[in-house]
Amino acid sequence: MLRINACLGIQGATYNERYVPGGYFDKIEFERLLEIVSEIDDVTGYFVYYPGHPLIDNPEKLKRKLADYNSKVSDIGAETWADRKWKYGTLTAKDKNIRKEAIKIIKNTMDLAVELDAHSVLVWPAHDGMDYAFQADFSGAWDYLIESLEEIGEYNSEVKVAVEYKQKDPRAKSYIEDMAKLMLIIKSLNVDNIGAALDLGHSFFAAERPAESLALLDRNNKLYQIHLNDNYRDADPDLLFGTINFWDILEFFYWLGKIDYTGWMHTDFTSPRDDRIKMFKLAIKFIRDFEKMAEKLNKHSDIIDKNLKNHNFVDNMTLIRELLFK
């Protein structure tokens, strides 16, 4: 069964956005979230972040606190976007001190990952990109990107570092916009522990088929994290997982069932207008629904895969429809 986590910064957050700067919710305190989540089946880990997460400066205490609730750290994110100082980017910023500062945060996060026994570290270069023509030095940015990622990878080759790609937002275009660009960068590195976070919503946003991105990342042993949410492929509001792209998600879970993914399913969605905890519970139900439907299909993978190989869509979908809806 897939392992699912919760996250204070998501399920407990106020969700301040541009048009509602005060946020849609009051914050849920960490202890309170632990209590709430402990009553939900199927959630066995926490995605934490550095800096800023409660108890993050005392990893032992954080571990014990989580253990009190029969939980543990799943993965840990390096937060390098919420301060305006990152506005020109992190890994690609011209200012050497800014790059250094960002890399230092990531290294600290890697240390914490070891102490917390986290599966992997998340790096999202949110501001590394451009908005306008004549704003970016594409070639220089590439150099910085390689240099920064190699320094990160070399710091501790035992720690998996998952880079999160995203087409755009907050920049009109990111440097690392899709799976292929990220893999191209990874192939250019002289380190082996830089991989990918496949955020389902970002994959849709980048006009990918998530199952293809999963398959190609897995071929290269670079699939370190999966983030679950949904969208209409035109923006990334982190909508509730499972509510929009039914078939693509099913295909994604089908391929997931074919590989040996040892990471977590990160419940990475926002819920500005609905009860957050109810939404979280519904998300988990949907994860299990897709897992079960995919299992049903995986039992027939000999036929389904043969149809895939033979470009035989109509027989495949006829079969799948019968397996699911009859």
- Judged by CB under 8 A, the chain residues 161 through 190 that form the site for a second copy are 167-170, 172-173, 177-178, 180-181, 183-184, 187-188
Which of helix, strand or coil describes residue 235? coil
Shortest Å, Cβ 60 to a second copy: 30
User: Which residues from 214-273 bind a second copy, rule CB under 8 A?
Assistant: 215-216, 219, 231-235, 237, 239-240, 243-244, 246-248, 250-251, 254-255, 271-273
Shortest Å, Cβ 9 to a second copy: 12
- The count of C-alpha atoms lying within 13 angstroms of the C-alpha of 264, restricted to the half-sphere facing its C-beta, is 26
Tell me the C-alpha distance between 271 and 4, whole Å: 18
* Contact by Cβ (8 Å): 69, 37: yes
User: Which residues from 42-71 bind a second copy, rule CB under 8 A?
Assistant: none
Q: Looking at residue 310, what DSSP letter applies? A: T
Select from 105, 189, 308, 323 the one that contacts a second copy (CB under 8 A): 308
Q: Is 275 in the site for a second copy (CB under 8 A)?
A: yes
Pick 71 or 167: Cβ nearer a second copy: 167
Q: What does the CA dihedral 302, 221, 130, 106 come to, rounded to 10 degrees? A: 140
Q: Looking at residue 52, what DSSP letter applies? A: T
Shortest Å, Cβ 49 to a second copy: 14
Q: Which amino acid is at 134?
A: F
Tell me the C-alpha distance between 217 and 219, whole Å: 5
Q: Is 301 in the site for a second copy (CB under 8 A)?
A: no
- Spell out, one character per residue from 107 to 136, where the chain touches a second copy: x when CB under 8 A holds, - when not: -------------------xx--xxxxxxx
CA-CA distances (angstroms) from residue 84 to 107, 177, 287? 21, 21, 35
Q: Is 90 in the site for a second copy (CB under 8 A)?
A: no
Q: Is 40 in the site for a second copy (CB under 8 A)?
A: no
